[in-house]
């Protein structure tokens, strides 16, 4: 299809002497060198066609500036204001010799985007701009509560196979599905991120991480209709620090055990977070009849404040997110070495600790230490505000309500 007149009239790079980008080739082609990156989009509803040229020109300028060693000033990269993205963004990255710095500025507009070269090692996105997924037009068509095999809707930002990246001071609004999805990546920091969607928007997880290592989320504010941060299988060494969560479903590991071949989740550190008005606080969830035998281990939840959280501390190995979950056999996910320390605040459900583990793989090494949670619900608090099923562990220090381990 030919280019539109707006594409043909795209402004040239401000550095006319810079060499053009190399022609993109598929990974693995002999002699291609290391390609910088690929940016893809998906159609988001019945929106107008993408206008690519202005974004392409800005990106080429930014990449040239990076190669020339002048990447400290992102103004030649990707300018954006509080934009109405008409396509969701997908980043599919990996190795690259170039360092890309994308400045998402709040004073300019960002058009929908076309594919760019594959893979990146070293990505910086910053600038204070916003990605608006216009999700309200698509949420009524979400079928995930009815079936586990629902078709995911487009997401605002997807980082796949990204290495050594820093994402800072950007916002995501009203994504149709997950706001930010990280897959197969390592060594990424997210700092000062703002994520917002209505509390009843379906499957709008703030940040979802899967099959990734050394990911850090810090100093961020997330209020959405699903988990503020969700962690899928295959993750190691994750850090969540100083995150304000709410509304939403809290900070969750899982669900785990849905698919064969899932990898372990090892190493999670959640510290100095504040959860307000969330349906859940700190949750680990696995499915029954899981085809995978995997481990979830070495988790630390420390210095957490909960403000009127409905279910503060949950391990649910009978988790069922839809109407047709298989329930024939207990979960095969083994949960061990889980520490809850220095947690305080208020909760709304009759039960503060709901620890329901698998008969086939009981939880071991669960610790509750120095916890002060006060019931603030409308009804009468249950005499026993703690439920423990197939769980082994200990309690230390002053733990209120009284624990069952």
- Measured CA to CA, the distance from residue 151 to residue 94 in angstroms comes to 26
Beta-sheet pairing, 87-92 with 39-43: antiparallel
- Measured CA to CA, the distance from residue 299 to residue 339 in angstroms comes to 6
SS3 of 130-195: the string is EEECCHHHCHHHCCCCCCCCCCCCCCCEEEECCEEEEEECCEEECCCCCCEEEECCEEEEEECCEE
Q: Which of 105, 179, 208, 249 is catalytic?
A: 249
DSSP codes, 200-219:
T-TT--SEEEES-EEEEEEE
Bridge partners of 163? 121, 186
Bridge partners of 239? 216, 269
Q: Are 304 and 341 in contact (CB under 8 A)?
A: no
105 flagged as catalytic: no
DSSP codes, 293-329:
--EEEEEEEEEEEEEEESEEEEEEEEE--STT---SS
Question: Taking the chain, what is the end-to-end CA distance rounded to the nearest angstrom?
Answer: 66
Between the alpha carbon of residue 29 and those of residues 33, 39, 388, the distances in Å are 9, 19, 56
Q: Can you tell me whether residue 67 is helix, strand or coil? A: helix
Q: Are 258 and 148 in contact (CB under 8 A)?
A: yes
DSSP codes, 68-103:
TT--S-GGGS---BEE--SEEEEEE----SS-EEEE
Between the alpha carbon of residue 252 and those of residues 84, 178, 312, 335, the distances in Å are 29, 14, 11, 14
- Active site (catalytic) residues: 249
């Amino acid at each position: 299809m030919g280019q539109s007149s707006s594409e043909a009239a795209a402004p040239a790079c401000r550095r006319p002497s810079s060499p053009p980008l190399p022609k993109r080739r598929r990974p693995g082609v002999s002699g291609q060198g290391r390609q910088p990156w690929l940016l893809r989009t998906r159609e988001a509803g019945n929106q107008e066609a993408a206008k690519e040229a202005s974004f392409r020109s800005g990106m080429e300028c930014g990449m040239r500036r990076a190669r020339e060693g002048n990447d400290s000033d992102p103004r030649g990269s990707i300018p954006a204001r509080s934009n109405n993205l008409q396509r969701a963004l997908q980043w599919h990255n990996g190795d690259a010799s170039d360092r890309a710095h994308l400045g998402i500025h709040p004073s300019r507009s960002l058009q929908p985007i076309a594919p760019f070269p594959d893979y990146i090692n070293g990505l910086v996105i910053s600038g204070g701009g916003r990605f608006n997924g216009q999700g309200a037009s698509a949420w009524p068509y979400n079928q995930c509560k009815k079936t586990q095999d629902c078709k995911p809707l487009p997401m605002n930002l997807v980082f796949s196979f990204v290495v050594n990246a820093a994402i800072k001071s950007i916002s995501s609004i009203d994504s149709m599905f997950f706001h930010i999805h990280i897959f197969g990546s390592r060594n990424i920091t997210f700092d000062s991120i703002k994520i917002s969607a209505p509390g009843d928007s379906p499957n709008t997880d703030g940040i979802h991480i899967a099959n990734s290592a050394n990911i850090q989320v810090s100093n961020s504010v997330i209020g959405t209709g699903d988990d503020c941060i969700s962690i899928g299988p295959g993750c190691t060494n994750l850090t969540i620090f100083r995150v304000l969560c709410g509304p939403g479903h809290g900070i969750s590991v899982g669900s785990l055990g849905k698919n064969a071949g899932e990898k372990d989740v090892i190493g999670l550190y959640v510290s100095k977070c504040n959860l307000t008005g969330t349906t859940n606080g700190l949750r680990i969830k696995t499915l029954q009849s899981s085809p995978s035998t995997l481990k979830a281990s070495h988790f630390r939840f420390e210095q957490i404040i909960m403000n009127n959280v409905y279910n503060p501390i949950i391990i649910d190995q009978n988790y069922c997110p839809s109407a047709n979950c298989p329930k024939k056999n207990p979960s095969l996910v083994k949960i061990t070495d889980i520490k809850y320390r220095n947690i305080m605040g208020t909760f709304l459900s009759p039960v503060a600790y709901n620890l329901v583990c698998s008969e086939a793989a009981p939880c071991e090494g669960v610790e509750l230490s120095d916890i002060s949670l006060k019931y603030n619900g409308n009804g009468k608090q249950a005499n026993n505000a703690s439920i423990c099923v197939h769980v082994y562990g200990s309690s230390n220090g002053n733990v209120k309500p009284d624990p069952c381990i």
